[in-house]
Amino acid sequence: MPPLTRIVLVGPPGAGKGTQATRLAGKLSVPHISTGDLFRANISRQTALGKRAKVFMDAGHLVPDELTIEMAKDRMRQPDAENGFLLDGFPRNVWQAEALDELLKTEASKLDAVLDLEIPEGEIIKRIAGRRICRSRSAHVFHVSYSPPRKRGVCDVCGDELYQRDDDSEETVRKRLEVYYTQTEPIIEYYKMQGLAVTISSLGSVDEVTRRALEALKREDDDE
């Protein structure tokens, strides 16, 4: 059987989704398509879609579903995505998942798998709330548990102060998780009903999680 190449990656904040998306896309030789990159690229190129998205982003609002879908459709039709893609951050709710299904039908295509990165809530909070960033322009990153600086609150590289970003506070992390549980997590059940979702643990080293993901995708392929 051919390898799985049309994949959606799902996971809560702190699950390492961005890191794994980049690694898996490279190993599968497909483009990594993230909503954040889509928004930035369209805004940078001043496309019609980008101009519309910028209005919402400048006002601090989420980009509407319809606009997100249009950007994703445009990106998936690019030549490098002809043989597959890895979607990261899209779909973010069931309505978008349904719209993606309809979009792929019009392209005579379909998803191969939905990879769900599972991680305990306590570990998510520990990972994100423990991050400390250097105030220098280089913004070196440390972690109070996993990669602490030699001297508390001081960057090993340049000696500048380390601080916790507002969006890394435990309170903010819990709010982000609530949004995930309410809006995004339901798509996992939606895809399970289609037999597409496979869940793996995102605990462990980056390499371990990547191996776990590739093995899960291979099993899904073997089950076809």
Rounded Cα–Cα distance for residues 224 and 220 (Å): 7
User: Are 6 and 109 a contacting pair, CB within 8 Å?
Assistant: yes
Q: For 190-215, what is each residue's pLDDT tens digit?
A: 999 999 999 999 999 999 999 999 99
Per mean pLDDT, which range of 56-70, 111-125, 165-179 is the poorest? 56-70
- For 3, half-sphere exposure in the C-beta direction (CA atoms, 13 angstrom radius) is 14
User: Are 218 and 1 a contacting pair, CB within 8 Å?
Assistant: no
Tokens (6 digits) for 129:
């709330």
pLDDT of residue 61: 83
The burial of 57, by beta-carbon neighbours within 10 Å (0-12 exposed, 13-18 middle, 19 or more buried), is given as: middle
pTM for this prediction? 0.86
Mean pLDDT of 52-62: 86
The burial of 191, by beta-carbon neighbours within 10 Å (0-12 exposed, 13-18 middle, 19 or more buried), is given as: buried
Q: For 1-43, what is each residue's pLDDT tens digit?
A: 455 689 999 999 999 999 999 999 999 999 999 988 899 999 9
Choice between 134 and 5, residue whose per-residue pLDDT is larger: 134
Q: For 88-124, what is each residue's pLDDT tens digit?
A: 989 999 999 999 999 898 877 889 999 999 999 999 9
Q: For 142-157, what is each residue's pLDDT tens digit?
A: 999 999 999 999 999 9
The alpha carbon of 45 is separated from its chain's Cα centroid by a whole number of angstroms, namely: 23
Tokens (6 digits) for 4:
């799985």
User: Could you please report the per-residue DSSP string of 11-31?
Assistant: --TTS-HHHHHHHHHHHHT--
Going along 147-187, which residue ranges are E strands?
A: 162-163
Q: Which band of pLDDT confidence, cut at 50, 70 and 90, is reported for residue 82?
A: confident
- Which residues are catalytically annotated? 17, 92, 131, 165, 176
Query: Is residue 67 predicted with pLDDT exceeding 60?
Result: yes
pLDDT of residue 3: 55
First to last CA, the chain: 8
Q: Which band of pLDDT confidence, cut at 50, 70 and 90, is reported for residue 167?
A: confident
- How far is the CA of 78 from the CAs of 30, 83, 85, 145, in angstroms? 12, 10, 10, 42
Rounded Cα–Cα distance for residues 63 and 5 (Å): 27
User: Are 50 and 210 a contacting pair, CB within 8 Å?
Assistant: no
Instruction: Give the SS3 label for residue 119.
Output: coil
Q: Give the residue among 76, 70, 77 at the shortest CA–CA distance from 7.
A: 76
Query: Is residue 219 predicted with pLDDT exceeding 70?
Result: no
